[in-house]
Amino acid sequence: MAFSVVLPTLAPSIVFAILFVISSISLGWRTLEHRRYAYFLFFVFSFLRIAAFIARALWSQDYTSQSKAIATGVITSGGYFLAIQPLYTVFTEWIDRIIGLENVSNREKLVIRLIKILIPLCSLIGIVGSVKQFTASSQEQADLGTDLRKATALGFLGLLAILLFNTLIYAQRYSNSIENKGMKRVTKKSILVLVIGCLLLISGMIYRTLSVFEPTSDVNKKEWYIYVFAFAPEWILMIFVSVINLEDLLGKDNFNSDEEISNKRELAK
């Protein structure tokens, strides 16, 4: 989303493409090692960031190219949900293990289902907004594209805040169940991943929200803002989940058999 506001330059695009190549290799190795869908989604997200920075580098050499601008915006917006979806998976796996998803209240089930639906929907809205903004034949259409991008930014920001809030609420509400089931270690690790992951993505989404709501502000005048506040946190998250190892947090989220899942869950307690 931020790409469509600040015109790119070549050098930082190349640097960040290389950084995401490193994270993609690490996440690809984790995916093959642990056979987890969450790792696969992180890998695809990281790979799409490489594509986005390549598009950004190409765009920097031809600012008049509408197709390169659209490609950059579409890849950036379209792939963003892949960074949030694995965190949602960690959250639901954790809840399922401490109390069982079938035992949460109807209101809580509704919130969980809405988060699942809205994560990819926000990316889709962002894609439409980027295309509309770059292909607009009138000011009205350009404004519509901007409004859609605003909705995407607010949507993702809200979803991340809800996910973070619910993580802290569940940890407090079901502390006795966590203690009784011997899930303290898994809970601490799940909370660590969710809190750090959400905060990193929230920091980037705050920047994106400011960039679309205040197009003439300082955040859109200096390119380094994008890297420091939007893309650096994403890369840090990719490296973080590569290092911390999510295997014991993702019982059902894998390519293994039910027996293997059961055995690994017992070992993780």
Do 84 and 119 form a contact (C-beta atoms < 8 A)? yes
d(CA 204, CA 199): 9
| Domains present along the chain, CATH in parentheses | 2-268 (1.20.1070)
For the stretch 51-107, pLDDT in tens is 999 999 999 999 888 888 888 888 988 899 999 999 999 999 888 888 888 888 898
Residue 254, SS3 per DSSP? strand
> Which residue did the predictor score with more confidence, 117 or 260?
117
For the stretch 6-35, pLDDT in tens is 778 899 999 999 999 999 999 999 999 888
d(CA 118, CA 233): 22
Per-residue pLDDT for 2 more than 50?
Answer: no
H-assigned helices in 80-137: 81-98, 106-135
Structure tokens at 1: 């989303």
pTM here is 0.86
Report the pLDDT value the prediction gives residue 81, as an integer from 0 to 100.
94
Do 162 and 111 form a contact (C-beta atoms < 8 A)? yes
Q: Which residues are CB-contacts of 132 (< 8 A; sequence separation ≥ 6)? A: 141, 142, 144, 145, 148
For the stretch 147-199, pLDDT in tens is 999 999 999 999 999 999 999 998 888 877 777 666 788 888 899 999 999 99
Q: Which amino acid is at 204?
A: G
d(CA 232, CA 39): 19
d(CA 248, CA 200): 22
